[in-house]
Structure 1
Amino acid sequence: MTLAKLTAVAFLALALGACQSLFKPNMRTPLEVKREAWEHIKPGCSNADCPLVNIDVVHFPALPKLDAIVERRLLAMTRDGEGAPLPASLKSYEDSFLREADSRHSSYLQAKVREQHDGLVIIELSSYLDTGGAHGMPGRGFINYSRQQDKVLTLQDMLVPGQEATFWKTAEEAHKGWLVSTGMDKDPDFVKTWPFQKTPHIALTYGAVVLKYEVYAIAPYAMGHIELKIPYPRLNGVIRPELFPGRG
């Protein structure tokens, strides 16, 4: 092959590579996020204690699949039990709640982007339901969406195979550190009453792996949603290496 032909082939390869990089999504560029929020009261109600529904969600114009995932997860937070059917949509949930709600009842649902990094979109979900008790019940959750894999990551997706026991042992050590930092380790009754528990709410944030707990899980209601943070270096060989910030 002549030098001219070799030059032409090399130029074509560079051009094709440039085209591929041009059309391939840049995972370091965050997805565009649009917020939609509204609050409605029970139709026909005009007093100060009208039942209300407040919904605050995010949309991803370039990834409508993620919109549907967020809505479904929020709707799951409205169910009374695991077997209860999901409402068809946020609007249908709102209509049903307001139709049946008594005075001073309220429901809040929120989804917000907590972070975007390394092709991951970390969404935090919040709920609060007040049906007239001593206090309302809040709920929390996370979505870890991988743009590279085009799916929501489960704990098994995050872990090196065979490392789940090590992960929870490390989480328990983080819990002991939390007890010390709050001074609760000096209260034997607290330690006995509120032992370490696993949680399904795990987020691969940039600074650390975050474990969030529902109220009453590892502490009294008044202490809110406890967060335990595990630095990534403590999870070497436990979390899949490509999920460490900066490695993806």
Structure 2
Amino acid sequence: MSFKISRLLLLLIIFSGCKKDKEEEKISAALRFEKESLIKKAGENCDTADYDCTIIALDVVRAAGTKGVANQINRTLDEHIIKLISSEEDPQINTLDSLAEKFLTDYREAAENFSEEPPWEAYVNEQVSFRSDSLISVKIITEIFSGGAHGYKTLTFLNFNPQSGEILSKNDIFEEDFTVFAEQKFRQQEEIPEGDNINSTGFWFENETFSLPENIGFSEGNVVLVYNSYEIAPYAAGDIVLEIPLEEVRSFIRIE
């Protein structure tokens, strides 16, 4: 009798696990992504060949199909863009439309105070760079000029759990020893001898210790590590990007 009960419990556990997996697959499959564009301009020559005007152009992805999950992803993506472009924390800037209006308003105020103020520009391009049943990676390229000596360009990634829409952190995705492996790859790419200090060729790693970047994403076939300008090197160095084949990283990944 006890043997039969044990078998029954085992079958129930297996069945429950399979049912959960199928439900998660349905959620992931129902989720889809569409492109959406928002463009706003301000200036006298916006519609002429001179094109001497302030512009903000947001080419973003929109999740749809699974309402709760989609809303969570879209809200996180919008908050990320607002944080990148907005010059101040303002609770009234809570949508991409309000962000665009504030960008144009800030330019007009700057132009009134400084007659030589050149037009401002902000461009955002989002795309889903990788998708599986356990992870969705969104690649975000941002280019901004809002006065000053030069503009700046950033490449960022946001990684989502497709079942919940929540952000996946580096610790959610990677085992601890991935850092050691990534350092080896970084040293090879940047030609830093194994026995030398990680900053021996001019990098700015804190406490002279290698660390993973803030931005890690996935593209088809690769894990992408992105150190943006000023993160570990001067602005002139630009973005430092390390791409590692996914097959070489699988043993360091926590999720399926």
TM-score over 0.5 for the pair: yes
Between 1:192-201 and 1:50-59, the stretch displaced more is 192-201
C-alpha contact 2:44 2:53 (8 A) present in aligned 1: no
Residues 143, 152 of structure 2: 8 Å contact kept: yes
Q: For residues 20 and 243 of structure 2, what CA distance do their matches in structure 1 show?
A: 38
* Cα 1:150/1:132, change in 2 over 3 Å: closer
Q: After superposition, where does 1:63-142 map in structure 2 within 5 Å?
A: 63-80=70-87, 84-85=89-90, 87-101=93-107, 102=111, 103-142=118-157
User: Matches of 2:171 and 2:21 in 1, distance apart?
Assistant: 31
What is the root-mean-square deviation of aligned Cα atoms in Å? 3.5
Quote the Cα distance in structure 2 between the aligned partners of 1:135 and 1:67. 30
2:226 aligned residue (212, 228, 235) = 212
Q: Is the 8 A contact 2:55 2:120 kept in 1?
A: yes
Q: How far off its partner does 1:79 sit? A: 4.0
Asked if residue 49 in structure 1 is aligned to residue 52 in structure 2, the reply is yes
| TM-score normalised by L of structure 1 | 0.71
Deviation per residue, 1:8-41 (Å, 9 max, x gap) = xxxxxxxxxx999986644774842111113221
2:72 is paired with a residue whose SS is: helix
| Of 138, 145, 151, the match for 2:160 | 145
Tell me the alpha carbon deviations over residues 75-127 of structure 1, each in whole angstroms, 9 at most, x when there is no partner: 1212447xx34622111111111012144211122321112123321101222
Report the TM-score when normalising by structure 2.
0.69
Would you say the 8 A contact 1:27–1:119 is kept in 2?
Answer: no
Q: Distance in 1 between matches of 2:138 and 2:75?
A: 13
- How far did residue 170 of structure 1 move? 1.9
User: Could you tell me how far 1:131 is from its partner in structure 2?
Assistant: 2.2
User: 1:154: how far off?
Assistant: 0.6
* 2:186 paired with 1:175: yes
Decide which moves more: 130-139 or 217-226. Answer: 217-226
CA contact (8 A) 1:113 1:124 kept: yes
Which residue identity lines up with residue 188 of structure 2 in the other structure? G
Aligned-residue offset at 1:232: 4.5
C-alpha distance in structure 2 between counterparts of 1:20 and 1:171, whole Å: 34
After alignment, is 130-139 or 50-59 more displaced?
130-139
Residue of structure 1 equivalent to 2:3: none
* TM-aligned CA distance change 1:211 to 1:173, over 3 Å: same
Gaps of at least 5 residues in structure 1 are 1-17
Secondary structure of 1:193 counterpart = coil
Total equivalences in the alignment: 215
**Consecutive aligned runs of 4 or more in structure 1 exceeding 6 Å deviation:** 18-23
- CA deviations on 1:118-155 (whole Å, 9 max, x unpaired) are 33211012221112334311122211112245421011
Paired-residue identity, %:
23
1:183-202 alignment runs, 5 A limit: 192-195=201-204, 198=211, 199-202=213-216
Q: Distance in 1 between matches of 2:22 and 2:244?
A: 37
